Amino acid sequence: MNLAASLPMPDAATDLNLDPYWMPFTHNRYFKRTRPLDRLMVAADGAYYTTVEGQRLFDCLSGLWCSSLGHRDPRIVEAVKAQLDRADYVPAFQVASPDTFRLAERIAEVTPENLNRVFFTNSGSEAVDTALKIAIGYHRLRGEASRTRLIGREKGYHGVGLGGITVGGMVANRKMFAPLMVQGADHLPHTHNLKEMAFSRGQPQWGAHLADDLERLVALHDASTIAAVIVEPMQGSVGVVVPPLGYLQRLREICTRHGILLIFDEVICGFGRMGDWFGAQAFGVTPDLITFAKCVNNGTVPMGGVIARQEIYDTFMQGPEYMVELFHGYTYSAHPLAVAAANATLDILHADEVPRRFGELAVKIEDAAHSLRGEPNVIDIRNCGAAAAIEMAPIPGQVGARGLKVFEEGLKRGMLLRFTGDTIAMAPPVITTQAELDRMFEAVRASIHAAA
Ligand SMILES: Cc1ncc(COP(=O)(O)O)c(C=O)c1O
């Protein structure tokens, strides 16, 4: 089908009033002044977006890490349409659709060990705040109400809720909102060290000892005040920061030793990208709680959630049976359209062996990404699962300007890249062909040159 032919064309965009929409995580003034038609999307299909001008852009980051099967897989589209014909909305409290119970069971089937109780939210941010609440509530119900302290990690990204920015470690996301943050949180050091690990292929050899810093925090605060540690197994948003070999294992050991819950924020890692169902299996470490979102339904309808160890759930199941056990939930928790999209996505993940195929794609991405070593200003290349990042030296005094330039050069070459500061991240959909992969990396190479 010629999508472009049926789409609104630039004149529709020339009249567009850009002022009222306050764009999230966007340089609004720059966007609205430059009016970039190549950044106005009107369609998405497979691995490509179509802009208002009819230009096709390869989706280098699977949307925002969420559309890992490619866009508008007919099996998901049909499932959502069929759901809409049956029921548009079902209340989330005291009532549920059978499909939601089925979805929870199916998610529990692909998680490690006894992580088998699933709470639904509508985003990764809500999933994180929910997991933090569950952690604190769990300790309280077990008679350890002093365990309220949350430990995150420098450079971590856990969404934009108040709990999430508290444990997060991306400074720009936090510095303006300090008065709103949860009291008493602390942070582990980040594991990104150019001197020791630049250009590592996959997991760096150096850095497992950084997990031992948790022992220092335990000595400082006392374990009896610490509820949970939250980390992303692989850090996506900050630019594919890969856990050093043995690091997550050590975190697990220390948490277990001190009765601290370990939360894996798998909003990016979950549902295949790491070459397994979750980062937990890919890295061989089982946390107590997993947060997910994004790929659970291929980004089709907002959905997130928390998967808890059964023992955590059971701890909440006390008191009179007529009472609500967890005073928490969202109007749109397990929205029927999101559930339909998720059940269809799980069908595809199984039928098309998506985690295994991502594992195969990962090998190709690693080779292609590291071929960019030696290009101008490239100071690090990282890869993990089917994701890679190219870090460039900032233009002195203008952190982020080079990243923006490469992003814009990428658009000229038909690539929708993602930049964080001066790092370019790539995590293409599982349907990406070798030819598309080659084109993407050659376009990145050319864009880096153009931005040099
Ligand atoms: C690890 C992690 N946690 C939480 C979030 C927040 O998710 P959302 O944007 O759906 O709120 C993200 C988003 O990228 C993420 O990468």
- The pLDDT profile of the chain, 452 residues, written as one tens digit per residue, is 444 455 555 556 778 999 999 999 999 999 999 999 999 999 999 999 999 999 999 999 999 999 999 999 999 999 999 999 999 999 999 999 999 999 999 999 999 999 999 999 999 999 999 999 999 999 999 999 999 999 999 999 999 999 999 999 999 999 999 999 999 999 999 999 999 999 999 999 999 999 999 999 999 999 999 999 999 999 999 999 999 999 999 999 999 999 999 999 999 999 999 999 999 999 999 999 999 999 999 999 999 999 999 999 999 999 999 999 999 999 999 999 999 999 999 999 999 999 999 999 999 999 999 999 999 999 999 999 999 999 999 999 999 999 999 999 999 999 999 999 999 999 999 999 999 999 999 999 999 999 99
- Position 207 in a domain: yes
Q: What is the CATH number of the domain that holds 143?
A: 3.40.640.10
Q: Are residues 275 and 221 in the same domain?
A: yes
- Position 292 in a domain: yes
- Position 70 in a domain: no
Q: Last residue of some domain: 351, 379, 405?
A: 351
d(CA 427, CA 417): 9
The protein residue with its alpha carbon nearest to ligand 1, atom 12, reads 159
> Cβ distance 301 to 338 under 8 Å?
yes
Q: Is the CB of 152 under 6 A from ligand 1?
A: no
Q: Are residues 180 and 327 in the same domain?
A: yes
Structural element, H or E, at residue 32? helix 28-34
Residues 6+ apart with CB under 8 A from 264: 230, 231, 232, 233, 278, 279, 280, 285, 287, 289, 290, 291
> Cβ distance 427 to 387 under 8 Å?
yes
Q: Is the CB of 265 under 6 A from ligand 1?
A: yes
Q: Are residues 225 and 330 in the same domain?
A: yes
Q: Are residues 374 and 337 in the same domain?
A: no
The protein residue with its alpha carbon nearest to ligand 1, atom 13, reads 159
Q: Are residues 318 and 285 in the same domain?
A: yes
Which atom of ligand 1 lies at the shortest distance from residue 164's CA?
4
Task: Give the pLDDT of residue 323.
Answer: 96
- Give the number of domains in the chain: 2
Which atom of ligand 1 lies at the shortest distance from residue 304's CA?
10
- Position 315 in a domain: yes
Q: Are residues 49 and 134 in the same domain?
A: no
Q: Are residues 132 and 193 in the same domain?
A: yes
Q: Are residues 165 and 141 in the same domain?
A: yes
- Position 71 in a domain: no
Q: Are residues 192 and 325 in the same domain?
A: yes
The protein residue with its alpha carbon nearest to ligand 1, atom 7, reads 124
> Cβ distance 326 to 120 under 8 Å?
no
Q: What is the DSSP letter of 242?
A: P
Q: Are residues 320 and 415 in the same domain?
A: no
- Position 72 in a domain: no
d(CA 323, CA 48): 49
Q: Are residues 372 and 283 in the same domain?
A: no
d(CA 238, CA 284): 23
Q: What is the CATH number of the domain that holds 415?
A: 3.90.1150.10
Which atom of ligand 1 lies at the shortest distance from residue 64's CA?
14
Partners of 426 in beta bridges: 388
Which atom of ligand 1 lies at the shortest distance from residue 65's CA?
14
Q: Last residue of some domain: 320, 351, 382?
A: 351
Q: Last residue of some domain: 351, 382, 405?
A: 351
Q: Are residues 17 and 46 in the same domain?
A: yes
- Which residues form the domain of 84? 77-351
- Position 341 in a domain: yes
